[in-house]
Amino acid sequence: MLAQNCSIPENGNYRVEFDDANNPNSGSTFKLQNKTVYFMTNNAIDEYELFQLGKCQYTLKSKENVNESKFTDFQKMLIKQGWYYDITNVVENVYYFIMRIDLHIQCGSGKFVKLPD
């Protein structure tokens, strides 16, 4: 049996590409610097702390209070349930992921493409 080729992304700038082209976050970018993730969306920067859950899994926690007033019931449930990224493979500067709620439920998949410095 072969070992899984995975790791948490290293410091740098990344583009998010979801497999579902209709995902509104597809094409967004983020910067990872020393366990802090800066997402650039809609001319704003959202800051998160990265918590490693295992060799290939991590979750993000917002450093600010999240305003849930415009969220759907499903989005509110996801936030309360928690979610994490499961890195399934790394090929050069591309990190393939599944966004999971638990081992059986996934809410997205795609890749993080590391951008040149």
Asked if 63 contacts 35 with a C-beta cutoff of 8 angstroms, the reply is no
Q: What pTM did the predictor assign? A: 0.80
User: What integer pLDDT is reported at residue 106 of this predicted model?
Assistant: 84
Q: Check if the beta carbon of residue 23 is closer than 8 Å to that of residue 109.
A: no
SS3 24: coil
Distance in angstroms between the alpha carbons of the first and the last residue of the chain: 36
Give the per-residue pLDDT at 96: 97
Q: Is the dihedral of CA 82, 37, 110, 91 positive or negative?
A: negative
Domain ranges, ordered by start, for the chain: 12-114
CA dihedral sign of residues 71, 32, 3, 109: positive
Cβ neighbours, 10 Å, residue 112:
22
Q: What is the CATH number of domain 12-114?
A: 2.40.128
Q: Quick one: the chain helix, strand, coil %, rounded to 5?
A: 10, 50, 45
Q: What is the pLDDT of residues 52-84, one digit of tens each?
A: 998 999 998 887 776 777 777 766 666 666 789
The encoded tokens of residue 76 equal: 């509110």
Q: What is the DSSP letter of 67?
A: -
Tell me what the mean pLDDT of segment 81-104 comes to: 88
Confidence tier at 3 by pLDDT (50, 70, 90) = low
**pLDDT computed for residue 81 by the predictor:** 64
* pLDDT tens per residue across span 16-56: 999 988 888 788 899 999 999 998 877 778 899 999 998 99
Among 10-14, 50-54, 89-93, 105-109, which stretch is predicted with the lowest mean pLDDT?
A: 105-109
Q: What pLDDT is recorded for position 86?
A: 93
Position 1 scores a pLDDT of 44
